[in-house]
Structure 1
């Protein structure tokens, strides 16, 4: 590894913190740690580290699960940051003898994607909250609610392979990594609690994220968790 050779002090500091010290504070599974790591590396478009993480994640995640972390990220991070990562993912999978394309796990179609997405929104955030959001939308801006229901929740959250807990934890990690998304992060902390990820799970996730996103974003996210 070039970093170990050329910057040994930094390598040992970071390696000790990321791979030893913080792991003494978390109780979540190795599988969940990889889901969290993939999510933050996708958000930061860390292609080299992401490729390594995909390779190593194959020990505990199926190829479909790995792909679904990337799919889940697109609506939050945008295609500009994720497009090249599809090729990175595919290259790693092919090198590990995974046949592509993977089987389709979509469960919706063009006729029901909006309704199915809206159902999930109401389940995660509460029917009254979603209805109030719809009713209070300024005239001419309704399309963004429709996009959110049909595209973000309808096209992605309804897919198989990952649980609701997985998907909401991925979203939490993405928003914490992005920073500046406190309103959305606040809503998704509540959604995580509603689908069964308790505060300790979120705090463990932040512990895993800290070396990748730094202290300011970590502490901002922690403050929001502590509101609940």
Structure 2
């Protein structure tokens, strides 16, 4: 979740998770799930971005980024998708569903929510699964953010679809 909600919130959640794991007798540290190196993280991230959003779209994003913002496109490919999406442990469908929920929790990120609704469709998740997942977030994120996420889902996938 770090690429979406930031490191402080992620570290806080990990501290709690580690306490629960310790209490449950789960041996720490867990096995490393990384699959990239410093040399491969951009290419591997670009590849998985292409699988999700279309290689042409990602190539155009990089090509059309203003010179003073190219570093953001690179970070997105390297960190968000290279370091994170290529990890073992979760398949692409589950990783995208979690991403949709994580982005929905922060509010004010509706363009990214819509992009990840489409990404969920692209990796094989359907509307009902997305609605179910966002509904499960309701007690934690409240009605406004839940309703915003549902509106994004309905904008990408019409309400009667």
Q: Structure 1 residue aligned with 2:56, among 128, 137, 150?
A: 128
* Alpha-carbon distance between aligned partners in 2 of 1:163 and 1:107, rounded to the nearest angstrom: 14
Q: CA deviation at 1:79?
A: 0.9
**Aligned residue in 1 for 2:65:** 137
The 5-angstrom pairing of residues 111-126 of structure 1 reads 111-126=39-54
Gaps of 5+ in 2: none
**Aligned residue in 2 for 1:21:** none
Gaps of 5+ in 1: 1-72
Matched, 1:93 2:21: yes
The 5-angstrom pairing of residues 36-115 of structure 1 reads 73-115=1-43
* Alpha-carbon distance between aligned partners in 1 of 2:139 and 2:13, rounded to the nearest angstrom: 21
**Aligned residue in 2 for 1:61:** none
TM-score with structure 1 setting the length: 0.66
**Aligned residue in 2 for 1:171:** 99
Q: CA deviation at 1:211?
A: 2.1
Q: CA deviation at 1:133?
A: 1.4
* Alpha-carbon distance between aligned partners in 2 of 1:214 and 1:100, rounded to the nearest angstrom: 33
Instruction: Report Cα offsets for 1:152-188 as digits up to 9, x if no partner.
Output: 1001110111010111011100111111001111110
* Alpha-carbon distance between aligned partners in 2 of 1:116 and 1:145, rounded to the nearest angstrom: 14
* Alpha-carbon distance between aligned partners in 1 of 2:3 and 2:103, rounded to the nearest angstrom: 11
Structure 1 stretches of 4+ moved >3 Å? none
SS at match of 2:49: helix
TM-score with structure 2 setting the length: 0.92
* Alpha-carbon distance between aligned partners in 2 of 1:208 and 1:146, rounded to the nearest angstrom: 33
* Alpha-carbon distance between aligned partners in 2 of 1:130 and 1:123, rounded to the nearest angstrom: 10
Q: CA deviation at 1:195?
A: 0.6
Q: CA deviation at 1:118?
A: 0.3
**Number of equivalences:** 156
Q: CA deviation at 1:216?
A: 1.5
**Aligned residue in 1 for 2:88:** 160
Instruction: Give the root-mean-square deviation of aligned CA atoms.
Output: 1.1
